[in-house]
Amino acid sequence: MVKFILGVRRPGSVELDYSLEFEAPEIPAIGSYISINRPDEREVGEDMIVRHVWWRLHHPTAQSYSEESRAGTVTEIFVECDPAIGPYSSRNWLRSMKRHRDAGIDIEEFQVSRRPFFDPDDDD
């Protein structure tokens, strides 16, 4: 399992809105669709798309070249995402994304054939 920090940007901005730590079998790739389910939502939650993967590394030598073979280590992996609309978006998430769209911010939708739990155009 690989530990990483998932950061979600504010809609329409590169500024970070919030971040969460995860463990997964692999690091999500750029363009991956992610759905986060939390205890307050049974099967739905927050949908997002991976935009960048940042790797922070540490190397034990200060020189650019060493006769001695020493490997560095991973310090931190940061997966940066944009909020999106997907099939697992909760009603609250959809309302929030719709408000941003109404304000002229581009909110991407997952390109999948699955039916959403809730209709993104439903104001309920």
Q: What is the separation of C-alpha 104 from the centre of its chain, rounded to a whole number of angstroms?
A: 22
Q: Which two tokens stand for residue 123?
A: 């104001």
54-91 pLDDT, tens digit each? 999 998 888 777 667 788 899 999 999 999 999 889 99
pLDDT for residue 120 is more than 60: no
Prediction pTM value: 0.83
Residue 115, pLDDT score: 63
> What is the C-alpha separation between 34 and 10, in angstroms, rounded?
16
Backbone dihedral angles phi then psi of residue 94, each to the nearest 5 degrees: -60, -45
